[in-house]
Amino acid sequence: MKKVIALTAGIIGSSLCWAGPGDEINFPADYLTNFTPYLSLNRTQNPDQYIRLYINDKGLSGTEENGQLPYGTVIVGEVYKVEKDADGKVINSTLGERVINKLAVLAVMERREGAAAEYPEGMGNDDWDFAAFKPSGERANKDLTQCAACHAPHTGSHHLFSYQHIIAEQNRK
Ligand code: HEC
């Protein structure tokens, strides 16, 4: 019996050490100097946010035969809060765009071999892993399976919303 308990404790103990969603993504501290900015837009899901997107060189190096971006691709989304007026209404600029205020969170996707196994069934996203960081580089407390759930249905664009913009950036002369 003792043996069984010890074994069970061992299994539970080691399962705590297994990587879960986002665990293997390190904060990409060099993204401002080494990544390429490819798109900035008012966030489509959030009426009071703005996002700036950056991709590393690997992600601009080409695609696999099926069009998927290569393993090692890292994409960073700088999510900003935006300016509001005294009534709390989002201000639109002369250009009709939201105006960035405070950097709220860094949303990161990394295509990593085996990442799919860390997510629930149907949310593997073809090995895209997700992580969220505070601007300081500490991990932000986000439910990463929710990230995966929203990106999962987009199979036609390899689980990316900005896929066409990345391809355009790859082809930019
Ligand atoms: C409810 C849907 C939804 C959820 C949840 C979501 N995203 Fe996204 N994500 C989007 C949309 C839409 C875009 C396109 C840009 C925009 O409008 O913000 C996007 C873009 C991105 C991009 C740029 C690459 C791409 O797909 O174009 C990254 C990186 C990203 N999200 C990471 C995350 C992370 C990390 C989380 C969880 C902390 C997350 N997302 C949660 C909808 C979602």
**Tens of pLDDT, residues 7-59:** 444 444 444 557 899 999 999 999 999 999 999 999 998 999 999 999 999 99
For residues 53-87, one letter each, b for 16 or more C-beta atoms within 10 angstroms of the residue's C-beta and e for the rest, the string is bbbbeebbeebeeeebbeeebbbbbbbbbbbeeee
Question: Is the CB–ligand 1 distance for residue 130 below 6 Å?
Answer: yes
* Angle at alpha carbon of residue 97, lines to 92 and 102, rounded to 5°: 80
**Tens of pLDDT, residues 47-92:** 999 999 999 999 999 999 999 999 999 999 999 999 999 999 999 9
The pLDDT assigned to 18 comes to 74
Q: How many CB atoms lie within 10 A of CB 147?
A: 23
In the numeric block, which tokens belong to residue 55? 């991709």
Q: How confident is the model at residue 158 (pLDDT cuts 50, 70, 90)?
A: very high
Cβ–Cβ < 8 Å for 164, 157: yes
Cβ–Cβ < 8 Å for 131, 150: no
**Ligand 1 atom with least separation from CA of 42:** 17
- Select from 51, 150, 163 the residue to mutate for testing ligand 1; criterion: most ligand atoms less than 8 Å from CB: 150
